[in-house]
Amino acid sequence: MNALKKSMLVCFLTFGYLATAHAILPIEKLDSFKGSKGYLVQTKALPMVDIEVSIDAGDRFDPSGKSGLADMVAALMNYGVRGDQGILSEAQIADEIADLGANIGLSVGGERTILRIRSLSRKDLRDRAVKLAAAMLSSPIYDAKIVEREKQRTMTNLLEAETKPEFVLERRFTKSIYGDYLLGNTPTVKSVATVNTKDLTQFHQQFYRSDRMIVSIVGDVDRAQANEIVKTLLQKIPQSGNPIAKLPELPRSPVEPLAQREIQIPFDTQQAHIVMGMTAVTRSNPDYFPLLVGNYVLGGGGFVSRLVAEVREKRGLAYSVSSYFVPGKDTGIFRAGLQTKNDQAAMALEVMSSTIAKFIADGPLPSELLAAKSNLVNGYPLRIDNNRKLLDNVSSIAWNDLPLDTMEVWTKQVEAVTLEQVSAAFQKYLAMDRMKIVVLGAKNK
Amino acid sequence: MRSNLLRICFLFLLYAPLSWAASSNSADTHEFLLSNGLKLIVREDHRAPTVAHMVWYRAGSMDEVNGRTGVAHVLEHMMFKGTHKVKSGEFSRLVAAVGGRENAFTSRDYTAYFQQVEKSKLDEVIKLEADRMSNLNFDDAEFLKEIQVVIEERRLRTEDNPSSLLYESLMATAYMSSPYRHPVVGWMNDLQNMKAADARDWYRNWYAPNNATVVIAGDVDPKQILKAVEKYYGAVARQELPERKPQIEPPQKGIKQVQVKAPADSAQLAMAWKVPRLEPGKLDDPEPYALELLTAVLDGYDNARLNRTLVKQEKVVNDVGVTYDMISRGPELFLISASMAKGKTVAQAQASIRKALDELKQKGILESELKRIKVRILSDQIYKRDSIFGQAMEIGTTEMAGFSWKDIDYMLEKMQTITPEQVQAVAQKYLVDMGLTIAVLDPQARKSEASKESK
């Protein structure tokens, strides 16, 4: 143990130097094309390239009563497009992607829709993958028969999901946190049923514009090739269109009596699922770093957080328990959750609540702050050690309008966090009398 | 869309440089055997200053005996509960302090532990991992708390998860004598009756250097690594391992069926056929490769056969998937699973699956279909190198199944030689009722519903 302790001490003393020990690959800003933004990180070791297009067309733009529209607009881009040589069917698109050895994936979040291409960097293959993605982005045909089929599938999936505790909990928690704000409503069988071809086309026309797109590229291409990729991707996309209403502000979770904030959902699972949380900060908020470091101590730090110690290690109440901030570009939330055997639900909720309350009131110990910084700083290279992770970082920097040297100064910003900053930030943004709580299961059994 | 001639040329172009890239593993990989029997495999990858360190024990749930199912996984949890030198929970704190990410996982075939760290911290985690190879020391109170955590894990992943319950029943039905019939997490009653002594016995029996393979991948110098590994792991004494009985599953003599009633909305269907796996020393057996390719022909991309016909054309199922893995210690299943489309029955889905398979058995597959799959396999060889951890995983799972990491390239080459006729032949030979097990999830309404929520 002595030997271990000694080397731990050494690592504490040296962690400050790590950030400068290895060069962090620079992010290059690409030429602006049709109002879009483009970024590149060149990595030459592997003959492959990852390309992402972020579109400001997430779930928050779903019209009232049509939750799920943004999801379908994106998902159906795979299923038929008008290309240079006429219509490409869903089968032809799938075969082409397979023949190229490429991957093209789509995902839709609250704020943005993301299209990702992974291709070999060889020009002929890459060009075809990029051209296909460009056709998907600009010219999906939304064939009525396919729309109907995919609506049915989505509704069947939703009916299935409604039997699952995680889904029901998540849907109710989302409504509880966001209320009538844009992100409060999640897709239902009813809302999906109302979506028609015209809705899809209109949404696509309105939001899929190059001035709402950011292209991020990581891999084996140079600057000129990257600029060419951006041009090919966005060539046929209109630059702008009808004005889009400014997003409203998400009001802070209000102070409410417990009875107003806590929701119980009877559910006959063996385990109760519990979540609590409230509105918090965006990624660009200057308090992001104190909250990140503090939350490592509270519930973010894998096996060593306070929540894991209190709930799992000391009491054996749950397999998984954690807390985290979800900082977006325009809104952000804090949340904590666990699952436990039904007859322990009240006790587990009490342990989780009191652990969070104590942390907000007292902040971390000096030793905990040191351990948190040590982990985050020493572990930073693991956040950027391959193309996929680099793309995740570039994508976040671009979407959240962060400075281009964010990766270079990240560890310095962590090291600069003080005990007082952590306490002040937690007290400023979190409050137990504002926390929404959802308990699914049979808490009072 | 394009002429066949063009496509053939294109495929040829894609083949040439890729097959070179796919066979470049051996130059940057190094293997060592310590005198205590521990095997070390180092994969050099200098793209970023990070390392993945994994230790793999060839002891998984298939090595458990009756009444003690789940003990391999329970011990995995107890490995974080202290040694003679490092007190409970300290392991994770020390790994966290050097910025490491860590975890562990248990399968039917093995138990593995890993840390990912910045490269200058590698010695620290080697020292810690080597320490718990022979010095584990937890008290009964720690065990009693942790077994509750494991039971919560089973509730979360299995008891409240209908798909897991279905798979559990499928495995227990398909196999009569093979230990593959037991779930990795263990049966609930076995967990409730497990004792600290069961976990300690498991540790004493299987955690030995001569039953372990250390895999280190990343920005490292193999010579330096060998020194550190010899210093820390080399100090652990070799020991005699328990005898492993073959427990070969007797041949199945006809179709088996099982039904599971659980809360769900759609019915689910699983059809599993007994098929061969690749056996060490028989790398030229074409059948396992042909089965891998058959899997991809049926389910390898969005327009693959089952998705195209069952989901898109006939609309009889909502989702369909096929799994088979030729690399494993125990017997293999070729598994097709599907969830029903609204208003469609399990019988209709089964009929459609059988029709698609019959067509393939009778008419075979197109050369172009197979080429498409092979291209994907080749490009995946490039993509997989983006992840250091993924490379270490591939080496570890291959070694645990009784192969050498050196076989990986040979297997990939062999895969490229398989013909459409060979794929058709394995479908004809193995996808027959004699070796088939069918499991059906019969959906039940939940007693309580979300609509009854209250504040």
Tell me the average pLDDT across B241-248.
96
Alpha-carbon span A43 to B46, nearest angstrom: 12
Categorise residue B387: left if φ over 0, alpha if ψ from -120 to 50, beta otherwise.
beta
Q: How far is A219 from chain B (nearest CA, A)?
A: 10
Indicate the pLDDT class of residue A328, thresholds 50, 70 and 90.
Answer: very high
Q: What residue segments make up the domains of chain B, in order of their start?
A: 22-235, 256-444
Closest CB from A267, A339, A378 relative to B98: A378
What values do phi and psi take at A199, rounded to 5? -60, -45
Q: What average pLDDT does chain A have?
A: 93
Closest by CA to A171, choosing from A156, A189, A193, is A189
Q: Is the pLDDT of residue B233 over 70?
A: yes
Neighbouring C-beta atoms of residue B244, cutoff 10 Å: 11
Per-residue pLDDT of B334-358, as tens digits, reads 999 999 999 999 999 999 999 999 9
pTM, rounded to two decimals? 0.93
What angle do helix axes B407-417 and B388-400 make, rounded to 10 degrees? 90
B200, B233 Cβ separation under 8 angstroms: no
Per-residue pLDDT of B371-385, as tens digits, reads 999 999 999 999 999
Q: Are B386 and A48 within 8 A, CB to CB?
A: yes
CA dihedral B10, B16, B21, B26 (to 10 degrees): 150
Name which of A179-183, B59-63, B110-114 the model is least confident about.
A179-183
Residue B448's pLDDT is 60
Tokens of B329: 């210690």
In sequence order, the β-bridge partners of residue B268 are: B339, B441
Closest by CA to A297, choosing from A378, A363, A372, A373, is A372
Domains observed in chain A:
28-234 (3.30.830.10), 258-441 (3.30.830.10)
Categorise residue B240: left if φ over 0, alpha if ψ from -120 to 50, beta otherwise.
beta
Closest by CA to B263, choosing from A188, A162, A274, is A162
Alpha-carbon span B214 to B33, nearest angstrom: 10
Residue B3's pLDDT is 35
Indicate the pLDDT class of residue B155, thresholds 50, 70 and 90.
Answer: very high
CA angle A142, B318, B351 (to 5 degrees): 125
Partners of residue B18 in chain A, C-beta under 8 Å: 101, 120
In sequence order, the β-bridge partners of residue B218 are: B44, B51
Residue A444's pLDDT is 52
Q: How far is A374 from chain B (nearest CA, A)?
A: 5
Interchain CB contact of B10 with A (< 8 Å) = yes
Partners of residue B150 in chain A, C-beta under 8 Å: 319
What percent of chain A has a predicted confidence (pLDDT) above 70?
Answer: 94
**CATH number belonging to domain B256-444:** 3.30.830.10
Alpha-carbon span B399 to B401, nearest angstrom: 5
Residue A23's pLDDT is 75
- Chain A residue with Cα closest to B370: A99
Residue A22's pLDDT is 56
Partners of residue B166 in chain A, C-beta under 8 Å: none
What values do phi and psi take at B69, rounded to 5? -65, 145
Q: How far is A245 from chain B (nearest CA, A)?
A: 34
Residues 6 or more apart whose CB falls under 8 angstroms from that of A103 comprise A97, A116, A117, A118, A119, B383
Q: Are B50 and A382 within 8 A, CB to CB?
A: yes
CATH superfamily of the domain spanning B22-235: Metalloenzyme, LuxS/M16 peptidase-like (3.30.830.10)
What values do phi and psi take at B287, rounded to 5? -60, -45
A134, A88 Cβ separation under 8 angstroms: no
Name which of A229-238, B2-11, B181-190 the model is least confident about.
B2-11
A56, A209 Cβ separation under 8 angstroms: no
Neighbouring C-beta atoms of residue B289, cutoff 10 Å: 23
Residue A442's pLDDT is 75
Instruction: Write the DSSP assignment of A176-206 as a string of letters.
Output: HHHTTSTTS----HHHHHT--HHHHHHHHHH
Q: Report which secondary-structure segment, H or E, holds B167.
A: helix B162-174
Per-residue pLDDT of A169-222, as tens digits, reads 999 999 999 999 999 999 999 999 999 999 999 999 999 999 999 999 999 999
Q: Are A270 and B17 within 8 A, CB to CB?
A: no
CA angle A435, A437, A443 (to 5 degrees): 145
- Chain B residue with Cα closest to A172: B450
Residue type for position A417: V
Pick from B45, B92, B302 the residue to mutate for testing the A interface (most A CBs within 10 Å): B302
The distance from CA B367 to its chain's CA centroid, rounded to whole angstroms, is 29
Tell me the average pLDDT across A371-399.
97
Tell me the average pLDDT across A330-334.
97
Interchain CB contact of B312 with A (< 8 Å) = yes
Residue type for position B37: G
Lay out the sheet containing B101-106: strands in order across.
B29-33, B39-44, B212-218, B50-57, B111-118, B101-106
Among B31, B44, B76, B369, which one carries the catalytic annotation? B76
Pick from A9, A99, A261 the residue to mutate for testing the B interface (most B CBs within 10 Å): A99
Tell me whether domains B22-235 and B256-444 share a fold: yes
Partners of residue B89 in chain A, C-beta under 8 Å: 303-304, 309, 313
Question: Is there a catalytic annotation at residue B76?
Answer: yes
Closest CB from B48, B128, B373 relative to A381: B48
Per-residue pLDDT of B298-338, as tens digits, reads 999 999 999 999 999 999 999 999 999 999 999 999 999 99
Residue A303's pLDDT is 87
Distances (CA, A) of B309 to A94, B144, B268, B315, B425: 14, 52, 18, 8, 22
Closest by CA to A56, choosing from A330, A285, A280, A307, is A330
Tell me the average pLDDT across A280-294.
98
Interchain CB contact of B403 with A (< 8 Å) = no
Interchain CB contact of B379 with A (< 8 Å) = yes
Q: Are B315 and A152 within 8 A, CB to CB?
A: yes
Per-residue pLDDT of A92-110, as tens digits, reads 999 999 999 999 999 999 9
Tell me the average pLDDT across A126-138.
97
In sequence order, the β-bridge partners of residue A334 are: A278, A325
Closest CB from A96, A163, A386 relative to B265: A163
Residue type for position A110: G
- Helices assigned H by DSSP within A248-399: 258-261, 288-295, 306-307, 345-362, 366-378, 387-399
DSSP symbol at A382: G
Tell me the average pLDDT across B81-99.
95
Instruction: Tell whether the torsion through CA atoms of B185, B186, B190 and B195 is positive or negative.
Output: negative
Tokens of B282: 């028989």
Instruction: Tell whether the torsion through CA atoms of A391, A396, A399 and A402 is positive or negative.
Output: negative
Per-residue pLDDT of B5-46, as tens digits, reads 333 333 333 443 344 344 456 779 999 999 999 999 999 999
CA angle B365, B367, B370 (to 5 degrees): 75
Indicate the pLDDT class of residue A84, thresholds 50, 70 and 90.
Answer: confident
Chains A and B: how many Cβ contacts under 8 Å?
A: 254
Q: Is B254 exposed, middle or buried (0-12, 13-18, 19+ CB in 10 A)?
A: exposed
Per-residue pLDDT of A15-41, as tens digits, reads 333 333 457 899 999 999 999 999 999
Alpha-carbon span B196 to B72, nearest angstrom: 12
Indicate the pLDDT class of residue A9, thresholds 50, 70 and 90.
Answer: very low
Q: What average pLDDT does chain B have?
A: 93
Q: Is the pLDDT of residue A323 over 80?
A: yes
What angle do helix axes A345-362 and A419-429 make, rounded to 10 degrees? 120
DSSP symbol at B394: H
- Classify strands A37-42 and A213-219 as parallel, antiparallel or unpaired: parallel
Cβ within 8 Å of A, B 325-344: 339, 341-342
Residue A301's pLDDT is 82
Interchain CB contact of B266 with A (< 8 Å) = yes
Instruction: Tell whether the torsion through CA atoms of A335, A339, A340 and A345 is positive or negative.
Output: positive
Lay out the sheet containing A436-441: strands in order across.
A262-266, A436-441, A271-279, A332-341, A321-327
What values do phi and psi take at B62, rounded to 5? -70, -10
Residues 6 or more apart whose CB falls under 8 angstroms from that of B20 comprise none
